[in-house]
């Protein structure tokens, strides 16, 4: 215990450590500019990374040797249909699903395989979306519980509920007499 600093100011608030080396380029690219990481989310020992070229990459922690720094290895990758930059990734641990926002659409994928959910089509004309915070908790509060999320579009707000491979929808009408002002942050 003598080696531990006694003054709390001597303890750094965080430590920066590279987790992944960057975006590995797979095959030929149409652009001369290399892809960049646009967003990322972690679940357990895995990191899901969204890229500017529309690739979704799944990394897993490899901690075999205690003398070597832990490193992440690419387990799988998926190129989204439109090859546009991935704006946001949300992990739903209770349903083993991944919501991916790209090119004003939300796509639905199965974890950990990154296969698309065949029974759910992408939600279109999306400005942004938000998932109820209790559904993002890890470990999940309740497995296979329906997950509610809101989607903000130019025309209004839509409420969705997802359970297993089904998506339920309810449109929220905005009154002309009582305008709603939304503040969107990037």
pLDDT at 186: 44
- Which residue has better confidence, 38 or 67? 38
Q: Say what the alpha-carbon torsion angle 155, 120, 90, 52 is, to the nearest 10 degrees.
A: -80
Domains assigned to the chain: 8-172 (2.130.10.10)
- The answer to which of 15-24, 43-52, 108-117 has the lowest mean pLDDT is 15-24
Tell me the per-residue pLDDT of 32-53, one tens digit each, with 9 for 90 and over: 688 999 999 998 889 999 999 9
In three-state secondary structure terms, 23 is: coil
The CA-atom distances, in angstroms, between 89 and each of 19, 40, 70, 117 are 18, 7, 24, 15
pTM of the model: 0.77
pLDDT at 28: 47
Tell me the per-residue pLDDT of 68-102, one tens digit each, with 9 for 90 and over: 666 788 899 999 988 999 999 999 988 999 999 99
Token pair recorded at residue 17: 């450590």
pLDDT band at 11 (very low <50, low <70, confident <90, very high): low
């Amino acid at each position: 215990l003598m080696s531990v600093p006694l003054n709390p100011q001597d303890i750094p608030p965080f430590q920066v450590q590279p987790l992944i080396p960057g975006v590995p380029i797979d095959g030929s690219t149409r652009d001369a500019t290399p892809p960049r990481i646009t967003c990322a989310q972690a679940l357990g020992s895995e990191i899901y990374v969204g890229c500017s070229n529309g690739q979704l990459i799944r990394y897993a922690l490899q901690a075999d040797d205690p003398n070597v720094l832990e490193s992440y290895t690419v387990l799988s990758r998926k190129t989204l249909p439109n090859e546009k930059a991935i704006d946001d990734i949300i992990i739903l641990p209770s349903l083993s699903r991944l919501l991916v926002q790209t090119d004003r659409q939300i796509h639905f994928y199965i974890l950990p395989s990154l296969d698309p959910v065949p029974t759910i089509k992408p939600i279109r004309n999306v400005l942004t979306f938000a998932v109820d915070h209790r559904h993002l908790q890890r470990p999940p509060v309740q497995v296979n519980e329906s997950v509610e999320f809101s989607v903000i579009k130019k025309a209004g707000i839509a409420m969705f509920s997802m359970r297993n491979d089904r998506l339920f929808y309810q449109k929220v009408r905005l009154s002309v007499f009582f305008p709603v002002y939304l503040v969107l942050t990037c």
